[in-house]
Chains A and B, each alone.
Chain A
Amino acid sequence: MDLTGIFGDYTAFAPIIILLIGALILPAVQFVGKRRTATWAVALVFAIVSLIVNAIMLTDGYTGEALGLYEYDAYSGLMILLFQIVLFLAVLVSNASTETTRLHVGAFYALMTGATVGMMFVAGSTDLLTIFVGVELTSISSYAMVTMKRKDPRAAEAGVKYVIIGGMSTALTIYGISMLYGLTGTTEIAAIAETTQLTGMNWMFAIAIVAMVAGYGFKIAAVPFHMWAPDVYEGAASPVSMFLATGSKKMGLSVFFQIFLVMFVAGTAVSQIAGEEVQYLFAIIAAFTMTVGNIVAIAQNNIKRMLAYSSIAQAGYILIVMAVMSEYALSAGLFHMFTHVFMKGGAFLIVGALICAGIGEKISDYKGLAKRAPFLAVAMMLFLFSLAGIPPLAGFTSKFFLFSSAIGGVDGVTSQWVWLAFIAILNSAISLYYYARVVKAMYIEKGASTEKIKVPKIFTIAIAICVIFVIVLGVYPQLIYDFCETAAGALLGM
């Protein structure tokens, strides 16, 4: 289908424009209609239409740019698709969740859509400043979403923390960007890359890099910038937690790819990477992020906090891409981001669904769930085992790809990152411990009650979608992996 007939010169912007319109009219819809279900339906329609438009563009292999600051290609299309899936899942359940229905629905959906617009904008940016603007749009929307559960003190605490930390990270980022501008006279990443790849590192450059890594490190909750994440995910409403853990975090990772991978490896034919120091820096961050995330998760009794730490660990796995810096690693990382959306998103959705049914957030509240809600228990088990990397689920396949990228021999990478792969494998084993705890509570331990649990239908549908993808991507990874490969090629221009 030719979309240029409809969108003209702004075709590259098409998915964004649709959602932007949505974000702008949603408060009005609520104001006029005063029906939360109607507002929800409108939000959902916008999300789906945007998703379809993007899917068409992606499968058609559309490339183009708009206004000279935004580029749509296989990479940005794929990332946008990911954000749209997250938005779709989050909006889908928001009307059924008791945590979100009492909020200002118009504003809530507008914020969520707006945050997604920010992410999508980031995905297509080729300039440090546009990336910065996109990230801020997402962040500010997220702060508001987290604090919307106003009566809950945990939400308030989480929101305040989030704002303060977010502000600090923004400051650091802009500091780094301005230093880079001072050094190179440009904010365009490709232009910076030319200088970088020629000269490698120097001290000023290193300071700029550290500032930016720290700034965006907050967004992905990399250790040592992770401590806000458990509080925020615990405090926010479950659909919002899910949105942040799967969407917002992926934006942060995408920023890393778009800035640093492009800066150091894009377009170079040589396998020698100019910034080897940066590779090691990321390798160490990755190792610590996954280890701390997994170890602390063991000590959690609240399932949302546990999932939050597990998200931190997952980001650590994906950071392997930043250490290895190869096209193969990037495609594996992108693939893992997709599988993570379904498995982690699904797990958060189940937590949300159970909250609606009056089940608490403690792991001990899940005792005997296998009897009370067989479908949810099976789904949860699949998600958790997928997160732990047990075959033949999606998490295993994507981890297998990701970790194998760090092993020498594949794609001409030297074997210097084997240790990182080993740490990652060891971490997967540790992670099984806390995932198994939940499964044990659900399946093996006796619950206080054996009464059947009823959850809203719409939750069941959303969870079922995730289950299907967790299984399908496990046995047939090529479904999305091919797109990931093309996207990696498009970003790195190899």
Chain B
Amino acid sequence: MFIEYTYLVPLIPMLCFLIIGLLGRKTPQKGGYIAIAGALISFIIAALISYEYLTGDTYPNAVTASIEWFSIGDWTMHLGYYVDGLTCMMMLFSSFISTLIFVYSIGYMGEEGPRRTRYYAEVSLFLTGMLGLIVSSNFLELFIFWEVMGLCSYLLIGFWSFRHNDGDAASANAASAAKKAFLVTRLGDVCLMAGLFILLGEFHSLDYTTLFDTANIAAADPDMLTLGMLLVFGGVIGKSAQFPLHDWLPDAMAGPTTVSSLIHAATMVKAGVYLVARGYPLFVQNPEVMLFVGIIGGVTAIFAATMALNNMNIKKVLAFSTVSQLGYMILALGAGGYLVALGMDMGGAEGTALITAGVAGFTAGCFHMMNHAFFKALLFMCSGSVIHAVGTEDMREMGGLHKHMKITSITMLLGSLSIAGFPFFSGFWSKDLVLEIAMEAGHDGTVWFTVLWVLGVITAFMTAFYMFRMWFMTFMGEEGHASQHCHGESPKTMTVPLMILSVFAVASGFLILFGLDGVVSFNVTDAGFVVGGAEAGGVGHYFEHLFTNPYTYLTIVLALLGIGIAYLMYVKKSINPGKFNKDGQSWIYRLFANRWYFPELYNQISWKIGYGVARGVNYVDRQVIDGTVNGLSGAVVGGGDAVSKMQTGHVQDYSSVVLIGVAVLSVVLIAITVILGGM
């Protein structure tokens, strides 16, 4: 009875967007309350839908319904919803965290004045994009919401480009960050769209029900399917900031911290991971694709972690940690999918064992995504609270803030413990599961995953180190320059969401012990693919051995070691970090600090090559071809004198241009004819 109203989940924030856009100026908080109400209602509806679905008869099969949108040629596009365990989890945490972020915004954006109307309108549309993407019943619908989100992120990241008090540098920074985010993710979108076209060509439909049907998958050309899924994964690389398209995410920090929180925790970057999870039935058709996915994930995880090690900007550290954690999710999905793909090829009891092990990878990736949503939203909002109080993002100017802002300090500590994988905090469960899966895939599959496991373990150590470096630098030690001007603890609208979120950041991991693995699971049954269901059992297999497994203790020890080293360096000061990096002069320090020179590389490619080519061709158009008639205008206006100039040569030049064109066409036609084998 509630599931039929699934379309309301994205529609309500959409309505809020319209109401705020049209009338928001006149309402209290410039539309803030409307945005909160919208997100909250969406959350309530999502909760009702989830309850009905999970207790309903069709569980664990998906519930889907759609109406015809348009039909062209021999295929029809639909608009509809698709509800399964994954959908439920995603829409619940997205709408819930967004609600808290919007509440927090009341305090955080309080000083923005009338521009808040635009802010609340845009975040509502942003939420529409995410929720719409989650409940979509086909890839075209998903793509549309995917793009809506990209557009909103563009506007939101550039939101502070008007901040006059920060000077022009900050404005320009916000503007270029917004553009970078838009264009870089767009590069991924191009791949995604090309991939969808290939799927459309193979399946004559983009509806999930058609695409996930085993008979249809068997009928499709495997090579085209592989190509299509690789291209779809290109979209994921862009949206979820995977290597080598990761660089927009740290720059996106130029937006308000609430927006960062929204992008990093509840929406946007999660869309990419969701797409892999949603497309799992198609992804697992080829183990090589999944290996590629896993490698990208594992490399991203460690690559981003290195850049967080020595960054001085509190938000950038968190941004790199997001990229790194997304890498974990992708790694888990890749490793799990690899095992499933192997198992399906192999068949028999051995194959079934592999599939069972692999399915846990799906759960691990999604589980980590949910946990990450909670603790990363918490961490960002804490950092926002700190920035709000001290007015800077540079951690060197902070320090000793613990006694000024106890709530922020403690909630941020909880978040940091969680992301560092401290035992029994949420990050511990999911991160351990991710690494277990990578190990398993290395053991049963290819040695590549063992390598990725090693990278993942090192990343875990780094994560613990840089998170606590951040926490110690901010809240412990001597008071920095900015700390002395601290305004004290942030208002209630900001601290209450922090406290609520910290409960989830600590405890969401326990959901796995209460059946989350059954809900968010990927099953391979005789009837075809079903996402969800209690038959998975893969995760339980890991948890039985969790505390007898030496590797678990390895990660725990590494996490503690990371925290300990950070303590010694930044609180005790008994280890001088300068000893290792030659006071910031060693090449490796500079490599990390300059983000492996990736921004530089982007600039070289886009500016020098892209713009250079454009300028070059433009020059040909304007000067070489048009130059022949330069001055002609004056001639005609001025009268007879210069008209003679026309007669002397320019017309001939023009005609030669025409003839060259015709000659080119003829040559092309001849070449084609020769290639095609004569007339």
A interface residues with partner B (beta carbon < 8 Å): 150-151, 153-154, 156-157, 159-161, 164-165, 168-169, 172, 200-203, 206-207, 209-211, 213-214, 217, 224-227, 230-231, 276-278, 280-281, 284-285, 292, 295-300, 328, 331-332, 385, 390-392, 396-397, 400-401, 403-405, 407-411, 415, 418, 421-422, 425-426, 428-429, 432-433, 436, 440, 443-446, 476-478, 481, 485
8 Å CB contact of A210 from B183, B610, B636, B665? B665
Are A331 and B72 also in contact (CB < 8 A) when A157-B633, A299-B615, A409-B201 are?
yes
A161 touching B190, Cβ below 8 Å: no
Q: How far, in angstroms, from A79 to B75 measured CA to CA in the complex?
A: 25
Task: Please name the residue on chain B nearest to A200 by beta carbon.
Answer: B679
Q: How far, in angstroms, from A401 to B194 measured CA to CA in the complex?
A: 13
Q: How far, in angstroms, from A396 to B151 measured CA to CA in the complex?
A: 14
- B604 contacts the other chain (Cβ, under 8 Å)? no
Which residues of the partner chain B approach A436 to less than 8 Å between Cβ atoms? 154, 179, 182-183
Q: How far, in angstroms, from A299 to B625 measured CA to CA in the complex?
A: 17
B interface residues with partner A (beta carbon < 8 Å): 70-75, 140, 143-144, 147-148, 151, 154-155, 158, 161-162, 171, 174-175, 178-179, 182-183, 186-187, 189-190, 193-194, 197-198, 200-202, 204, 610-611, 613-615, 617-618, 621, 625-626, 629, 632-634, 636-637, 646, 651, 654-655, 657-658, 660-662, 664-666, 668-669, 672-673, 676, 679
Are A425 and B183 also in contact (CB < 8 A) when A156-B636, A160-B632, A276-B676 are?
no
8 Å CB contact of B74 from A276, A407, A408, A411? A411
Q: How far, in angstroms, from A476 to B204 measured CA to CA in the complex?
A: 20
8 Å CB contact of A214 from B187, B611, B661, B679? B661
8 Å CB contact of B637 from A153, A200, A201, A392? A153
Which residues of the partner chain A approach B676 to less than 8 Å between Cβ atoms? 276-277, 280
Which residues of the partner chain B approach A210 to less than 8 Å between Cβ atoms? 662, 665-666, 669
List, sorted by A's number, 25 A–B pairs whose CB atoms are closer than 8 Å: A160-B632, A172-B658, A201-B679, A214-B658, A217-B665, A227-B626, A277-B673, A281-B672, A295-B614, A391-B144, A391-B147, A392-B148, A396-B147, A404-B73, A404-B197, A407-B197, A410-B204, A421-B197, A426-B190, A429-B186, A429-B189, A440-B175, A440-B179, A443-B158, A478-B71
Main secondary structure of the interface of A (DSSP, over half): helix
Which residues of the partner chain A approach B186 to less than 8 Å between Cβ atoms? 429, 432
Q: How far, in angstroms, from A450 to B637 measured CA to CA in the complex?
A: 37
Q: Which 4 A-B pairs have the closest CB atoms?
A: A157-B633, A409-B201, A391-B144, A153-B633
Task: Please name the residue on chain A nearest to B667 by beta carbon.
Answer: A210
Minimal beta-carbon separation of B627 from chain A (angstroms): 11
Q: How far, in angstroms, from A286 to B636 measured CA to CA in the complex?
A: 35
Q: How far, in angstroms, from A461 to B147 measured CA to CA in the complex?
A: 29
B618 touching A481, Cβ below 8 Å: no
Minimal beta-carbon separation of B414 from chain A (angstroms): 36
Main secondary structure of the interface of B (DSSP, over half): helix
A444 touching B178, Cβ below 8 Å: yes
B637 touching A444, Cβ below 8 Å: no
Which residues of the partner chain B approach A213 to less than 8 Å between Cβ atoms? 665
Which residues of the partner chain B approach A409 to less than 8 Å between Cβ atoms? 200-202, 204
Which residues of the partner chain B approach A444 to less than 8 Å between Cβ atoms? 158, 161, 174-175, 178
Q: How far, in angstroms, from A400 to B204 measured CA to CA in the complex?
A: 14
Which residues of the partner chain B approach A415 to less than 8 Å between Cβ atoms? 201
Minimal beta-carbon separation of B374 from chain A (angstroms): 31
B657 touching A407, Cβ below 8 Å: no
Are A401 and B158 also in contact (CB < 8 A) when A157-B632, A157-B636, A433-B183 are?
no
B655 touching A295, Cβ below 8 Å: no
A391 touching B148, Cβ below 8 Å: yes
B174 touching A407, Cβ below 8 Å: no
8 Å CB contact of A299 from B201, B614, B679? B614
Q: How far, in angstroms, from A446 to B327 measured CA to CA in the complex?
A: 37
Q: How far, in angstroms, from A133 to B175 measured CA to CA in the complex?
A: 52
Q: How far, in angstroms, from A426 to B646 measured CA to CA in the complex?
A: 41
Q: How far, in angstroms, from A213 to B186 measured CA to CA in the complex?
A: 35
B669 touching A157, Cβ below 8 Å: no
